[in-house]
Structure 1
Amino acid sequence: MTDQRVTEAAGGTILFDAGRAAQVDADWFSPEAWAGRGALRSQPGGRGGVSIIDTPAGEAVLRHYRRGGMVARLLGDRYLFTGAGRTRSSREFRLLAELAHRGLPVPPPVAARHVRHGLRYSADLITLRIPGARTLAECVAQGAFNEALARRTGQLVARFHREGVRHADLNAHNILVNADGLFLIDFDRGRLRTPRFGWRRGNLARLKRSLVKVGAAEGGSMFEEVLWPALQQAYDEAFRA
């Protein structure tokens, strides 16, 4: 289990794993601070505000929470504050810690922070980076999404669903593949629930739409006739196992 500690920070709190970092301060959540140390490896940008940083705990991913869609124009990176333990960053940190404790393939959490802004707050999360990984979407784009990988994907999802893990945004960008296996990332708004049929199938339907969107169904009937049935069969077998 993680050695979870909480420390006060300007305007909010920092939750961190003392087993990975003896102390974490506000600079850990600043890409500019890491850049000043020569430890900012990359900052791809995008809605998630992701930076790759070289920390004392190891190479990690720093993510600033941002809203998507139309509401982002109004609220940007602010969320309604209803308690420190209910912030998106602390919830995701604790969920990841629990999943890692259960032996599920997730990025281990390092630290989470929230900062109060009146009735609202902003938040950040640091997790260890999965080394040498590419997303399932990248595998599709590179022509590497074959029947074997489809089956492994189905087995991965079933493994989480058996534990009652409902991923709020199960898509081809949130499944990582490296030499060690497959991993699931980005558990913002994820929950532990009773593994009922309805939400499990809804999760799979969301993944299917994502695979189609990134191009898995292009070039003929291979996806509908071979790849998706293989994924679904492997899921069903693994879930019953």
Structure 2
Amino acid sequence: MKLLLLISGIREVMAESEICLRENGSRLLVHPDYRDEVTGAWFNPGYWGGRARPVSSGGRGGAWFITAGSHEMVLREYRRGGLIAKISQKAYVFTGESTVRSFAEFRLLNQLAGMALPVPRPVAAWYRKTSLLQYQAALIIEKLEGTTPLAELITSLDDGAWQLLGGTIRRFHDAGVRHADLNCFNVLVRDGEFFLIDFDKGRIMDGTASARWKASNLERFARSLRKVAGEAAQARVWESFVLGYYGSQST
């Protein structure tokens, strides 16, 4: 049961895996492990000064490594791509709090972490309405220390590593997890382990047409490998990847 408290004029709603805050026109979700630490200022890169370092690989910009005490984290603003970004890079249409992208990703990451899938743990999510119909949003996650984007390792990983990656992706698919942008920048590598990041617009699917979305997910990943490393490199590693993917099939 959620508990409703009134503390210093801020409405706080507590659930087992999240704390909901309202602060100066903003809305926040905070993981209970970070209660009484996170404020709306955390989502402003300027607040961190020299403790904010831009993330350089992949994405559309708008991401920073930040240091909060002993915690290493990643702050990411939600930014549009394509032609619409020329009109409004950060604004999204508001259709209700349940559909706010930062809140949806926070809750999905919480769920995936609870399923013991290799993802970063969420710290906090934020959004603020900029008009009646628009909002801006941002997310903070724990940094996965010592990791390297797969994009930088495509030609150096051996066949065994590609099989392990195939098996990792299969774990997500067996759990019904559809990553909306499965590419080689959203796979991180550390000592033979693989992690998926950036679950914006991701979701847990029902069983309807599961083969179709899984195949589409794999083809998107293959296109990313070809784009970054070339067709020959993608073809060289794909057999091992597929062997790991289907070799880990649940029975």
Please report the TM-score for the alignment, with normalisation by the length of structure 2. 0.87
CA distance in 1, matches of 2:177, 2:36: 30
Letter in 1 for 2:95: T
Q: 1:165: Cα distance to partner?
A: 0.3
Residue 188, structure 1, aligned to residue 188, structure 2: no
Q: 1:2: Cα distance to partner?
A: 6.0
Please point out which of 43, 53, 63 is paired with 2:54: 43
Per-residue CA shift, 1:91-139, capped at 9, x if unaligned? 0000000000000000000000001011100000000000011011011
CA distance in 2, matches of 1:171, 1:5: 31
Q: Structure 1 residues 172 and 9, CA, compared in 2 at 3 Å: closer, same or farther?
A: same
Gaps spanning 5+ residues in structure 1: where? Answer: none
The question of whether the paired residues in 2 share the 8 Å contact of 1:167 and 1:187 is answered with: yes
**Equivalent position of 1:134 in the other structure:** 148
Q: 1:179: Cα distance to partner?
A: 2.0
Please point out which of 69, 76, 95 is paired with 2:89: 76
Gaps spanning 5+ residues in structure 2: where? Answer: 1-14
Letter in 2 for 1:39: R
The question of whether the paired residues in 2 share the 8 Å contact of 1:15 and 1:90 is answered with: yes
CA distance in 1, matches of 2:115, 2:250: 18
Residue 200, structure 1, aligned to residue 214, structure 2: yes
Give structure 1 regions of 4+ aligned residues with deviation exceeding 3 angstroms.
none
Letter in 2 for 1:120: Q
CA distance in 2, matches of 1:212, 1:180: 22
CA distance in 2, matches of 1:2, 1:129: 22
Letter in 1 for 2:226: V
RMSD over aligned Cα atoms: 1.8
Letter in 1 for 2:37: Q
The question of whether the paired residues in 1 share the 8 Å contact of 2:106 and 2:124 is answered with: yes
Q: Structure 1 residues 231 and 2, CA, compared in 2 at 3 Å: closer, same or farther?
A: farther
Please point out which of 228, 234, 239 is paired with 2:244: 234
Superposed, 1:118-197 pairs within 5 Å as 118=131, 119-140=133-154, 143-179=155-191, 181-195=193-207, 196-197=210-211
**Equivalent position of 2:123 in the other structure:** 110
Q: 1:180: Cα distance to partner?
A: 6.0
Per-residue CA shift, 1:121-173, capped at 9, x if unaligned? 00000000000110110112xx3133122111111110100100000000000
Per-residue CA shift, 1:50-101, capped at 9, x if unaligned? 0100124710000000001111111211001111221000000000000000
How many residue pairs get matched? 232
Helix, strand or coil at the partner of 1:127: strand
Q: 1:28: Cα distance to partner?
A: 0.7
Letter in 2 for 1:147: D
CA distance in 1, matches of 2:61, 2:51: 20
Letter in 2 for 1:67: R
Please report the TM-score for the alignment, with normalisation by the length of structure 1. 0.90
CA distance in 1, matches of 2:140, 2:115: 20
The question of whether the paired residues in 1 share the 8 Å contact of 2:92 and 2:134 is answered with: yes
